[in-house]
Each structure stands twice: as C-alpha cells, then as structure tokens.
Amino acid sequence: MNGNKIVKAEIYKNSNRVTTIKMTGTTAITYLKGVGSRKASILGEAGILTLDDLFDYFPRRYLDRCAMKSIGALADGETVTVVGTVIKTQLDGESPGRARFKAWLGDRTGVLELTWFRGVRFFSRSVVQGESLAVYGKVSYFGHHAQMQHPDFDRLSPDLLEMRNGESSDLELYNTGKIIPLYPTSEAMKQAGLGSKPLRALVARAFEASTPGKDENLTPSMLADNNLMPLDEAYREIHFPSSHHQLARARYRMKWTELFYAQLLFALRHSEIRRNRAAVQFTHSGQVTQKLYASLPYELTEGQKTAIREIYRDLRSGSPMNRLLQGDVGSGKTIVAMFAMALAADNGLQSAFMAPTEILAVQHYLVMKRFFNPLGMQVGLVTGRQGKKERQAVLAALSSGELHIAVGTHAMIEPGVSYSSLGLVIIDEQHRFGVLQRKALQEKAIHPHVLLMTATPIPRTLTMGVFGDLDVSLIRQMPAGRIPVRTILRPEQEKPKVYNFLRAEIAEGRQAYIVYPLVEESEKMDLKAAVESYQELSATVFSDLRLGLIHGQMTPDEKESVMERFRSGEIDLLVGTTVIEVGVDVPNAAVMVIEHAERFGLAQLHQLRGRVGRGAHRSTCFLLYAKMSAEGRERLGAMESTTDGFLISEIDAKIRGTGNILGKEQSGTLSGLRVADLTEDFDIMQSARAAAFRLVEEDCQLRDAKHRHVRECYLHHYHDRFALADIG
C-alpha cells in the first residue's frame, strides 16, 4: 500500500491568502482539519505521518451491527455483539485460581452478566462502571439471566446515550445495521482524543481530501486473472464497508497485493542468482557415491531418494544450489546430506558441514568418519575447544585439500579457516544461526552450493513466506521399522507411577532421559533444577542405577564425555536440560520423561520426544505437568494426539503466531507484513507467489513499460520493508 514518507502539500495562494490546499497521499497529516501538533505527535508515534499512512492504518476488526442484538432478544447458545452501559462491577475472591470479576451490562431491554475467570486483575481495572462497551461472545442462560464468559469487548465513547453537536451517538450509529471499523488505539491516542470513533472521523476527512489507491499497483491482467478489486475501491471498502461481501473482497485484495510484493522479492532474487551467479558444475557421480550407497545397512526411503535426486539436479545445473531440506525428527536428513558430500568428492570438491552445538558437531563427525573413512575420504573436526596443535593440523589439512569434509561449529567461519576447493556448504539446524553467520560460511568460497537443513518442521506458509527464494525438499517418511513414540500426559502427582515404568524399562535393558526446563533454581519459577534433581534421584529413587547429568553450563568436553558414556551404555538414565533437544542419537534410549512439560514450547517438546523411538524397541514419552493454562493444555493435547512434526508445526503456528516461530533472525518478510496472516492465508500466498514468479519469468528486471507501476511500487513501498529478507 502507500508507505512513502515524503511530506508535501500544494498550496495555492490568492491575494497573499491561502485559499486552497490540494492534498495528496504524501501530504503531512498536520494539514488535515482537527490535527494539531499534539495529535500529530501521537499519530507520528503510531507511524501515521501522512495521509497515505492514515489510509494504511487499517481497522483491527469490525463490529457487525447486522449481527447485533438487544439484551432482551438474546438466545441461548448464539454468538453475538451487544452494546450497553456497565451498571455494576464486582470482584470476588483473592487467591489465584479462585478470583473472578463480574460486570453487568445494561440496555433498554435488559441486563447481561459478564464474567472473567482469567486475567481477573486486568479486567477489574479495565471495565469501569458507567462506561459503554460493545461486547462479543457466546450467550448462555442461568435461569432467566443472560450471561457471557470471557467476552471480547471494545470501549466506546462515554456519551453513548446522548447527542453531541447535533451528531448521532455511537449507539444510534451501531443500531443502523452498518459494519463499523474499530481501529487499533494506544492509551496515549485515547488520552489525546484519538479513540476509534475520532479516528473514523479523521479517516473520513482524509477521504474527502484525497483518494487513496488511484495509482493502481497491479497490472490489468493481474486484476482480471485473479478477480481482484481495484485498489481505490479496496481502500474505501476497508475503511467504510458497504457489505460483508465487499469487505471480504477488499481484504483479499490487500492481502494478495502484500503477499505478491513479498514473493516478488523472492522471485527477483531467485532469478538474479540463476542468471548472474555461476557455480561449479558437478558433472558426474562416481565411486564415492556408489560405495556409499553399497555400504548402507538399510534401504533409503522414497522421501530420501527424492531429496537426493533434487539435490543432484541442482548440483549439476551450473547455478548455485539454494535448497532447504526439511525432515521430521529421525527422518534421515543426515544421510541425504552425506550423498551430496559424496558427489562433491567425486567431482574433486570439499564440503563444509556446520552444526549449532559442539555435541551435535561431534556426533555428526563420528557418524561421517564411520561411513567415509572406509571409502578413502578424510573428515576433520573444527570447533572452538580444540587444542592448538590439533586445530592447526586440521586447518592445514583443510587448506591443502587433504581433508575432503570439514564438520564443525561456528568456529568454521573464523578468519583463519580456509579451504582448498570448497564447493558445498551444508548448515544443519539453520534457524539456530544468524543470517550473517550463514553468509560468512558461504563466503569461504565463490558462489558455493548451499544446503540448509532443519529437523524442526516449518509450516507451509512460513516456508513460503520466509524461504520463498529457496527450493525445498521434504522428507516426511520415517525409515522402515521405526515405531511411533507413544506419548502420555500425566499430572505431577502420578510421577511415582511414571518412575516405576521407567525403572522397569531399564531393567529390560533400555535407557532413559529425564529432562528439566532449568539448570538452577529461579525465584520466578518454582521448578526443581536439573542439578538438584540429579543429586536427589541419584541418592534416593534411582540409587541403584547409573545416572548421568548434562546441562548447558558444562564445558563441551564434559558434555561429550557424558554423551559418549550414555551412547556406550555406561549410563542408564541421563538427567538433563534441553541441550539434548536436537541431534542426540542413542537407539537404545526408549523412555523420555519431560518434567513441567507445560513450560516448554510445542516445537521443543516434539524435538525432545524425538530423542527416543530411534531403535527397534517401543518407546514412550511422558509429559508431566503441574499447573496448566488453556494454551498449555492445547499444546500438550497436540503432543498426545500426533507424532507428525509437520502437523505439530501448523498447530504451533496457530497457537503462537507466525512471528514467534522462527524469531527475528529468520523472520524475513514476516516483519513487513501488515495485513496478511501466514497462519490463515496460505491459499492467497500460493496465488500471489505464482503470479510473482510468472511475472519475473516474463520480465526478469521489470523493465517492460506495462510493468513500470509494479516496479516503482515495489522499489518505493516494499523493498525497504522486506530488507531483512534481502540478506539471504
């Protein structure tokens, strides 16, 4: 939409008097009637500096007067909006969990009782006797009394029942059957007289002064092919809906446009890489690849074979590979990456494999040595904890070309690390690295092929919205013989029964984990720490078993020593924190107990569960919880219901929101989206993406005259908003 901050007003003078101000979208908001310096300052804090900014300040939701009912006409079970005045409030109970806040809302036809059980303190301060509210929720009846529990509400102007300056009151306005926009307002805006109603009036005056969207930013063919509303009409319907149908069309148009320009960035970057960057072309697969396949003790899944074929096609193309390999926990991504390394070796090139932690790097190093050394390939380890002599030897071998594969942590991107012929860069658990760290490793060679890997399944919308310029390979199947992990949710009181089950499994020859969310006591969280729990369990409950402890405050050498003892069977029960979340592979471990599971995120719980179920034995994951919120119950319920990481990722996105899934480092275009919601708008994104890539395929630099408006709009309004995604 219109984000240009250039402020201008064309002032026409007659006889030394200002007679007319011709306003445009870039006119400063201060030229609008009713906006003085104080209001302009408050609006500026909300990002509203020009008329265009005001036009782009979309309503956060709408009150549907068509679905509004008077209290006397409410029916049991219906979900409606009711407008009235708070006639009484009451706070009951003091102790957490028992407190409740009630308010009684009245109109001319009756009284509606409102009740809040959660956030009681907040609502008791927010809902005040005498003020007017529009409440939205499900109606229930207790006897003859209408009730709503935890309704959404919007505070309306205090003079609902009066006339002001001859204008209709809000209540009368709401009774007209219109769809009323409600704008996001801060406390400062309300105090400055810029609540939702004054903002509506301000927007109306802006429409009288200027016409937003008169410069269309899509081509006529795009509008026709995708049945999109014209931009000027969409702006008007967004702010002043004439019907539900027209409002839905307007919102679709705005979302489609925003997602189109987000995807246009990816399309342009994808095209530029393939046109202007040449990478070494892998010409053949040879003995290393063939011997690696022959040495496998199992058959690859169809998903693994497909991913390998896709990677091979990229490596042979002559353009740099930029591919994301997604696979659920235990789906066999590492062996896929190893086939890419084998192909690099067959073509005389080195590979670099970077992992986020030393434990994971060491584990990958040991696995790759086991497979590659018999094939005549040398694998080296590069970490920050190596001794000086060992490190110098590895770096010298890497620089001379003696080493075919380097496996390590972020130590691999340090200035002193150089390669003889680096052709392939693989970054494991890529979301744990910052953009600049990934870029630093890629710069160790000229346009190397890049494979990003993640064991954290990413929702489809996030994959398209964050990694839109990457090709994506998915491995959804598990290796043959893999038995799904049974997940059981239990309250903390049943911990003795869970521990008895764990002991019985160890007696059968299995191993187990107990995971805690903290390493040391916290005053804010009444949780047992891993260190103290380890000491207690060693001395009492499991005094006859061999216990180990692992946590984030240990040195890498200490962690690796513990993990090696656990892998070799010297430790029966490993007590730890989330340092075991990713990559730890001990096939004999069959029981995972997660203490205070309600404190963990859904993706983290799924990763922890993935540490078991990697062998031939039936595995079990217990989720122990203490107090549980509604959101916590939703998370843990999802864990109980499915082991499909891709489904879990979709649920996680709905619970937490897309902006919180990957964090700022990975947010890409997410940080620039204003209208679209990646948890809901997958179909819109697919349509917009297809149009963006078609456009760039037809006109790779948007130089054709018919695409001039698209190019200008992208450069002026979107390129800077999506700048983080430009980093790569």
- Per-residue three-class SS string for 148-208: EECCEEEECCCCCCCCECCECCHHHHHCCCCEEEECCCCHHHHHCCCCHHHHHHHHHHHHH
Residue 350 has pLDDT above 60, yes or no: yes
Residue 519 has pLDDT above 60, yes or no: no
Average pLDDT of the residues of the chain? 82
In 595-676, at which residue ranges do the beta strands (DSSP E only) sit? 620-625
292 closest CA partner among 379, 400, 401:
379
Residue 613 has pLDDT above 80, yes or no: yes
For residues 405-426, give the mean pLDDT.
Answer: 88
Between CA 638 and CA 404 the distance in angstroms is: 43
Residue 460 has pLDDT above 50, yes or no: yes
Residue 508, both tokens: 């059968």
Q: Minimum mean pLDDT among 154-158, 445-449, 625-629, 644-648: which range?
A: 154-158
Residue 636 has pLDDT above 70, yes or no: yes
The pLDDT, as a whole number, for residue 81 is: 84
Which neighbouring-strand residues pair with 100?
92
Residue 687 has pLDDT above 60, yes or no: yes
Residue 492, both tokens: 């903390």
For residues 11-30, give the mean pLDDT.
Answer: 56
Residue 173 has pLDDT above 60, yes or no: no
Dihedral (CA of 57, 61, 66, 71) sign: negative
Write the single-letter amino acid at 498.
V
- 220-251 in b/e burial notation, b at 16+ Cβ within 10 A? eebeeebebbebeebbbbbbbbeeeebbebbb
Between CA 257 and CA 206 the distance in angstroms is: 22
For residues 187-193, give the mean pLDDT.
Answer: 86
Which neighbouring-strand residues pair with 103?
89, 114
Instruction: Give 178's pLDDT tier (boundaries 50, 70, 90).
Output: confident
Q: Minimum mean pLDDT among 260-274, 537-551, 622-636, 709-723: which range?
A: 709-723
Instruction: Give 721's pLDDT tier (boundaries 50, 70, 90).
Output: low
Write the single-letter amino acid at 303.
G
Selection from 176-180, 305-309, 361-365 with the highest mean pLDDT:
305-309
Residue 514, both tokens: 């107990």
Instruction: Give 25's pLDDT tier (boundaries 50, 70, 90).
Output: low
Write the single-letter amino acid at 342.
A
Residue 429 has pLDDT above 70, yes or no: yes
Which neighbouring-strand residues pair with 308?
none
256-290 pLDDT, tens digit each: 999 999 889 888 887 877 776 667 778 888 899 99
Q: What percent of the chain has pLDDT over 90?
A: 36
Domains of the chain (ranges, CATH numbers) = 1-59+187-210 (1.10.150), 61-182 (2.40.50.140), 287-475 (3.40.50.300), 486-642 (3.40.50.300)
149 closest CA partner among 160, 164, 137:
137
HEC sequence for 50-65: EHHHHHCCCCCEEEEH
The pLDDT, as a whole number, for residue 18 is: 37
Q: Phi, psi at residue 102, to the nearest 5°?
A: -125, 150
Residue 676, both tokens: 């679209």
Residue 662 has pLDDT above 60, yes or no: no
Q: Minimum mean pLDDT among 9-13, 468-472, 488-492: which range?
A: 9-13
Q: Minimum mean pLDDT among 106-115, 117-126, 251-260, 307-316: which range?
A: 117-126
Selection from 383-387, 657-661, 670-674 with the highest mean pLDDT:
383-387
Q: What percent of the chain has pLDDT over 70?
A: 82
Q: Is the pTM of this model over 0.85?
A: no
Q: Minimum mean pLDDT among 310-324, 375-389, 517-531: which range?
A: 517-531
Total H helices, total E strands in the chain = 25, 23
Between CA 204 and CA 663 the distance in angstroms is: 37
Between CA 92 and CA 89 the distance in angstroms is: 10
42-87 pLDDT, tens digit each: 999 988 999 999 999 999 888 776 667 889 999 998 888 888 999 9
